[in-house]
Structure 1
């Protein structure tokens, strides 16, 4: 398949110590990134990751960033990767900022840690009853009808993500979640998982302001040195201000993967390299239908590293 290659950093995937610890210990690309992270952070990332119990803890997020970039390093070294464009989906924007040259790795680590602490404090005091639910095989018309009913009741909701024509992320109060699940089942859909804290919702404007005023101002963010596409509309991120806005948009704007797919196709991209723990984007119908997909993830990389020892 001719055409250009894009590198895609996915949203948060499995990053607990049990899921990625061996990869971080044995993979040479991960070891180099971990060593640099330890120097920047002033402590052992692996030790803190081992102690973490929250799927979205500060050090789980740091491990995801480290591993996404380590896997990109592996792709460049072993696959001869020369991507023409870069995309970061949701949390993957942080890795995209580093890979594209908009941020230094050390600054991205410290920024990620600060953002995680701000998020934890915010959700300890705000929107404690809100969750984000992901589901598939649900017609858009049926979802819109349900959301209209919520609006008529003055009930809160936000669409947090459009992942495919029938795959969505929706944020609602936890008390409403059983209603949403019943609708999904009734129309032949399938519920995936529920996220706590919630993500990508317009109601989180205050968190966006806090991170803009208290976190991003501390770090140098430059114009990307390669084309970057925004995960909320597929637009080109070409300036430092646009990259800063993109990092903030992830807080209160929905992700729109079909729009990104259209933008990639418009740039003659035919191959995706998805670098990071990912159980989602590589499996979506609109991904598989439009691209030749190479998934570079910790389990596969670890098998390659360990194979010589098993012979």
Structure 2
């Protein structure tokens, strides 16, 4: 089994960063296996933006085209499978799925993160459609519209200030008593940003497109879009189990070439950076693939 399932690199996660790594390694004549569970974190989003040549394209279409191009390289294989464990061995790494084991000299973790949604009715239904996380990915499409920003304290102040670039019709929803400083509140008010302290009860929408927000005290706020930052956790515990270091923010710590603190383990994409966009994910995958190949050359030469 080990001889059959032996690879130069195994990539766990077959979305944009994983496929980008696979292409770089396939073009380097490396034998690669990509294992993917089919649940990319941007599956909620109808369109991808801010990626030249792909602006406005459906994310699924980008990934399917990328997959077809990557698998044109004969040394790259792709399998839909849920990875159960990644283990360090004397010769490299063993990756276990529910029905098989794979072995590789190097590992690339392209496993992404999992958003933790607040307990507000219909939040998840609207996430990625009209409840948005990134103004650079979606701000242009809702420019000059009626926008609500969810946040409080320093985080809420900074987020509202950022979104102001795209619209002058902004309400900051603190979802309870404001923890803004007086200086922050005064500045937001002077810029025309309304501060709403009512609790958020429900997002009223049609097919994920927000029409209004139901607030406490029988208030209703009509909006076209909402910007929110939600907490997250790593989608898997593979990096933790392998002993990789993490940043205080919860991202896997990597260097400029996507190497983790564990020799032979790379991490790419959303699990390593708050810059959650397809273009950034692709760039991290390309860097990791190139560095991994160079590392193999140094070991073989």
Common fold: TM-score over 0.5:
no
Which structure dedicates a bigger proportion of its chain to helix?
1
Q: Report the TM-score when normalising by structure 1.
A: 0.26
Q: Report the TM-score when normalising by structure 2.
A: 0.27
Which structure dedicates a bigger proportion of its chain to strand?
2
